[in-house]
Amino acid sequence: MTDQRMDEYRAYYRARLRRYDGNPLYPNMAQAERELCACVEASSSVEDMQRRVLAGGHCVDCGRALLRDQANARVALYSETADAVRAQAPAEVLASVDSVTDAAGLASLASSAQARTDAAVTADELTRLWTQSIASLENIEVWQSAVVPDRWRDQLDEFVADTTRAEREAWAQVQARAAHHLPGWRFDESAAREQRHRPDYATLLANALGAYQQSLDQLRDVEGQDAAITALERILAVGRSGATYPVFLTRLENERLSDVLAGSAAPAREHLVTALEHHRGVVDPARAAESEALLAAYDGLAATSPTGSIDPFAFELRRFRIAWQHAPAIARRDAVVTRVRILLDLVIDWLDAHTTWGPRDQRFRGPSPAVTARRIAMTRECNPGFYAVRAAQFAEAFGPEPWWTRNELTEERRAGRILWSEPRVQLALDAIGACVPLASAPPRLVLRAETFGPDSF
């Protein structure tokens, strides 16, 4: 007579096996589940199954196999992303997992290894915070290098001293926070230069091409994506032509290939659609590309799953890799946008400081007429010198293409994220050629600025 309970258990363990069998992410788990399933199949009763499973240590074997597979996958991922710090936890698991003999020990091994590594990861992430001083360092270079009338030199030297002191105080706080997480921590310049913090051009190009290839593979099965597919094929051809990463980016800009991708649609699950729609809506192509890759990864996992469900661990790995691939492009775009706004503000403030309404504008208005007059005079006389240094910084960091012709400015204007109205922006762009060190604004440009009035945008 058939034991219905045993039939139900056999069906359950077969279902468990199907979850892992043939999945390249879980080779050890598939083998452990296969042996467990065979044990259950051979059992004559529930009691016999319990004896066989316990005697064979199959439950612990499965737990050990799952830890090993997950640790191996993380080690491979962190090796690919050159993240030696995060790799410490899975390496510790792999070194000890075979010696653990019970479920509690397995749980303790994973959690304790991760806890120890989390402290090191936190301290390592603080290493990145030196980059927050870049803006201040640029300011210092501007104040020290700009061609301005000599009467402003003492004031600019004071700016340099104050900023230097503030940055040193801020960095002392970073060191204190790091030491709290990892006693004895000190900033290591060599660590800051490691690939996980500062990838080289070859890595940046490989990351970008990998992300574009994933998007292309996904879009080939989607209706109405001919333009995006053509753009992606062209991008991959450019990237594989032997061009360096900066040349690759330049050709993408010159051929406007990013513009095509910014309007493409990718299939997605509903809980990720919102992020993609948001980034497209606010005209942020770099983050939109990351969202598209996440959606493609989600759909890819669902398509290969027997049940259509997503393996959380597999998606965790995909998400980490995608974030790593897209982080350089996002950071680069953010850096460009920040500096474009500063350059634009310098020109607009310079023009407005020449107007008759300037003393009434909140940018210049001080507690006394003398302070107001000094602010206006400094803006008139120093901003062209400041602009020249910042324009040189921009070209050094992002290439020779003029900042005012870049897609980022066009995108920010289209998204309405530029503080100034279009007429103000256009006036500033028309004035760029006249904004040179020690120069006054031409009367024809000042006359146009007069039409705006104080505290207007």
Q: What is the pLDDT of residue 263?
A: 38
Spatial distance between the Cα atoms of 237 and 229, rounded to a whole number of angstroms: 12
User: Which tens digits make up the pLDDT trace of 225-264?
Assistant: 676 778 788 888 877 877 766 566 666 656 656 545 543 4
Average pLDDT over the chain, rounded to whole?
82
Average pLDDT on 71-79 reads 89
Model pTM?
Answer: 0.62
Contacts of 291 (CB under 8 A, 6+ apart): 272, 275, 276, 279
Percent of the chain with pLDDT over 90: 24
Residue ranges of domains in the chain: 4-122, 136-180, 201-310, 332-450
Q: Is the pLDDT confidence value at 117 over 70? A: yes
Q: Select from 185, 285, 306, 200 the least CA-distant residue to 246.
A: 200
Helices (H) and strands (E) in the chain, counts: 20, 0
Q: How big is the CA angle at 240 (ends 236 and 241), to the nearest 5 degrees?
A: 115
Q: What is the pLDDT of residue 295?
A: 85
Q: Select from 274, 310, 280 the least CA-distant residue to 415.
A: 280
Highest mean pLDDT among 45-54, 108-117, 312-321, 340-349: 340-349
Give 214: exposed, middle or buried? Use CB within 10 Å, 0-12, 13-18, 19+.
buried
Banded pLDDT at 116 (limits 50, 70, 90): confident
